Structures are given as C-alpha cells and as structure tokens.
C-alpha cells in the first residue's frame, strides 16, 4: 500500500489512530487511489501548511461543509475540531454564523450533526 506518510500522520493526529485504522479496513484496490490522493493532498499538503493553525483550519472546514451540506464529512470534521481545541460554545457560534450565509436548512442540519457528535462525546448537557 503506497500511502503518504506525512498525510497519514496528520490524519491520525487530527482524528486519532482508531479513525485511521477503521479507514484502512475499507481500503481496497479500487478505492486506494482516492484514499491515497486524500491523504497526500488534503492532509499531507494542505493540513501540513503553515499560515493558519489547525483550529482555524477546522473552523474553515466546518463552515465550508455546512455550506455544501455534507453531513457525513461534517461529522468527522467536528470531531477533528474538538481535537484541535474548538469548544462547544465556539462550534455553536461557527454554525450560527453559517446560518446567516448558508441558510437555516444547511445550518439546521449542521446543528443536528454537531449535537450527535457532542452527545457521543458526552459534551452535550
């Protein structure tokens, strides 16, 4: 399996080694190309860049994924944002801000996804 070592390392730091292990279980000869591309470009090149910290990158990704209405990816990035130091209050503000520009349907779905992640982590009161 030819993978990007720096991308895999960053992915593991962001999401945890269990996430990478689970991701690897779904890897096969067909999807290997897209998995490798994601690790190399998204994590090895973009997340490795200097300029903004990981928490800020997480905030940008949450806003983009909300705008694009990508709940599955949003769930993973909310997990990562928490790992990168975003607080529950900050997540709420990010999603509320996106409601202004992306509309209530997209933000409502994003709030639902965030609640599920927060509840799973025991962070929702």
pLDDT of residue 1: 47
pTM score, two decimals? Answer: 0.83
Is 72 found in the same domain as 102?
A: yes
Is 58 found in the same domain as 29?
A: no
Is 109 found in the same domain as 79?
A: yes
**DSSP for 51-66?**
SS-HHHHHHHHHHHHH
Write b or e for each residue in 109-122: b if 16 or more Cβ atoms lie within 10 A of its Cβ, otherwise e: bbbebbeebbeeee
Is 65 found in the same domain as 85?
A: yes
Residue 7 contacts residue 40 (beta carbons within 8 Å): yes
Is 63 found in the same domain as 30?
A: no
pLDDT in tens, the chain (125 residues): 445 578 999 999 888 888 889 989 999 999 999 999 999 998 999 999 999 999 999 999 999 999 999 999 999 999 999 999 999 999 999 999 999 999 999 999 999 999 999 999 999 97
Mapping DSSP to helix (H, G, I), strand (E, B) and coil, where does residue 19 land?
A: helix
Q: How many other CB atoms sit within 10 Å of the CB of residue 50?
A: 5
List the CATH number of the domain containing 90. Answer: 1.20.1290.10
Is 115 found in the same domain as 73?
A: yes
Residue 3 contacts residue 42 (beta carbons within 8 Å): no
Is 60 found in the same domain as 22?
A: no
Is 93 found in the same domain as 64?
A: yes
The number of domains in the chain is 2
Q: How many other CB atoms sit within 10 Å of the CB of residue 101?
A: 11
Is 91 found in the same domain as 33?
A: no
Is 28 found in the same domain as 70?
A: no
- CA dist., res. 62 & res. 32, Å (int): 26
Range of the domain at 8: 3-46
């Amino acid at each position: 399996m030819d993978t990007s070592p720096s991308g895999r390392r960053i992915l593991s730091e962001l999401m945890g080694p269990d996430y990478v292990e689970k991701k690897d279980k779904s890897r096969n000869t067909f999807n290997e190309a897209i998995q490798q591309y994601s690790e190399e470009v998204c994590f090895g090149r973009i997340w490795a860049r200097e300029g903004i910290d990981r928490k800020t990158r997480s905030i940008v990704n949450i806003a983009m994924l909300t705008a694009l209405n990508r709940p599955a990816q949003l769930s993973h990035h909310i997990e990562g944002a928490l790992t990168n130091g975003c607080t529950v209050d900050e997540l709420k503000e990010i999603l509320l801000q996106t409601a202004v520009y992306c509309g209530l349907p997209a933000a409502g779905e994003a709030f639902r996804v965030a609640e599920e992640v927060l509840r799973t982590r025991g962070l929702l009161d």
